[in-house]
Chain A
Amino acid sequence: MLELKNICYSVGSQDTENSIINDISLTVEDGRLIVLTGPNGGGKTTLAKIIMGLVHPTSGRIVWNGQDVTDLGITERAQLGISYGFQQPPRFKGIRVRDLLSIASGKKLLPKAEACSYLTQVGLCANDYLDREVDASLSGGEVKRIEIATILARNSALLILDEPEAGIDLWSFSKLTETFGQLHEKHDSTMIIISHQERIISLADEIIVISGGKISHRGAKDQVLPNILANTYGCCPVMK
């Protein structure tokens, strides 16, 4: 179980303090699939990074499976079963897809069959990709799918995915939603997915809308989606 207790994050000095996350508390039970959605700049990615340890909260506590992990580093949290898929994954000159999957799995050299199963789940063929470097020769969509494959290879108890659909073509996206759905059906992992895609939102047990650094709505899809659509244009009189 993941518990976020009064998480705040702000930047700047005391005089010009800019609050990014403003007192968010949240509990996610094991095996749940939660979708974080909401307007750009609302604080979704920051909140996800705070859970992984990529950003340290100004105040508040993060408790994972009963252990306070607020002061633990990224590596320690990863070793406790938290994994994170970046919205814009980095590229590596000289590191092959198979190397990255091996690191993710914790094995010296991941067997081809196992690597193949992770790549297939994101719509990539192992024969074409295993020995390719994760460098600029890959498209944004390919790097993104490899990123998700590394998360699958971790077999983590908590998967955090930041806009996994971004940059991915329609055909691969369909495969991806199928994979997320299957993962969720097993209930082995807790999943927190930042997304704006209705097909991913429809997989969620609960939708949480983050706006202005706060939770503005939360609930089941049928309750929350109409609210999101109604507030799409905010207070802008021209767009309304």
Chain B
Amino acid sequence: MMFNETDSVLLEKIADIKGGEIKGAYNIRKDSGCASRATTENIDIVTKTDKAGIDIIIKPGTKNEVCHIPVIITQTGLTEMVYNDFYIGENADVTIIAGCGIHNCGGEESRHDGLHTFYIGAGARVKYVEKHYGDGDGTGARVMNPQTVAYLSEGAFLQMDTAQIKGIDSTRRDTKIVCGKDAETVVTERLQTHGAQTAESNMEIVLDGDGARGQVISRSVAQDESVQIFYPRMTGNARCFGHVQCDSIIMDSAKISSIPAITANSTEAQLIHEAAIGKIAGDQLLKLQTLGLTEQEAEDRILKGFLA
């Protein structure tokens, strides 16, 4: 598979794809078309016929396979809405690496909106990784609005790691995860905004079955004049345990709102939320300076660790 330098930078940033080499099943979407695809015996990828997007079908019992489905946009002014559905068979154990990179060198807005819906079979384990990145020296905005919806059957597990690395001018992320009996989800969200960027994240975790567990870990850094808003919500409808933890570092003239909500509809639901917003602690900077780092190096190292 051959990609130009711009494509390669984006693919490496969002999906760790180096030199066009990918193992396992994959579908690379470029500028609203399919640039390349491969399937395996256990993972099938089918183009939707009624709307833009693909179905990813993973056979029951598939173990230790990785599926890459990155999206890249390199045309200024291109906007798209994509629907990807994932059907994960019972007792499968797979990693899905998604992500979107936008390179905008023009004056018009480039935008990717996507809805990913997961149907995770009983006992299956899924690690879902999604990174967002933007670059290009055009004046046109780079916009991403990802939606993720997941339904976890009995005993299923979903680990969802999302990261917005840099360069996205505006994003609105909507996530809804419904956990059935003994199902568990761990969602880790990392977000860094700078300049005049805005980011909004709405998250709803519904713990529907006895023994369901949910954990949300949100870490964000807002720099310059950027604005971030978080609405993590956890609802317990059964004997379940849920924990929401939001930590943000605020810098410069940025603004952050963190509005967690927990709702218990059962006396057996145990739900906890923690939220903290603050600047980098002065004693952290001083400590790293005493180890030989400059103030700027110390700040960078603290942010790197916080968002790691």
Contacts and interface: CB of A to CB of B under 8 A. Distances in A.
B290 A92 contact: no
B290 A84 contact: yes
A45 to B, nearest CB: 13
Contacts of A52: 290
B302 A74 contact: no
Interface residues of B, number: 22
Contact of B292 (A79, A89, A96): A79
Contacts of B290: 52, 54, 74, 78, 83-84, 86
B291 A78 contact: yes
Contact of B291 (A54, A96, A103): A103
A111 interface: no
B305 A99 contact: yes
Interface string B289-306: 111111100000110111
Interface in B246-303: 247, 281, 283-284, 286-295, 301-302
Contacts of B305: 92-96, 99
A175 B292 CA distance: 27
Interface string B158-170: 0000000000000
Contacts, number: 59
B291 A104 contact: yes
A95 to B, nearest CB: 4
B258 to A, nearest CB: 15
A137 interface: no
Contact of A78 (B292, B302, B304): B292
Nearest to A154: B291
A103 B293 contact: yes
Contact of B286 (A74, A94, A100, A154): A74
A70 interface: no
B220 to A, nearest CB: 12
Nearest to A80: B292
A86 B283 contact: yes
A93 B294 contact: no
B31 to A, nearest CB: 36
Interface of A: 52, 54, 73-75, 78-79, 83-84, 86, 89-90, 92-96, 99-100, 103-104, 106, 150, 154
8 contacts: A90-B287, A92-B284, A93-B306, A94-B306, A103-B293, A103-B301, A150-B291, A154-B292
The 4 closest A-B pairs by CB, nearest first: A94-B305, A95-B305, A74-B289, A90-B283
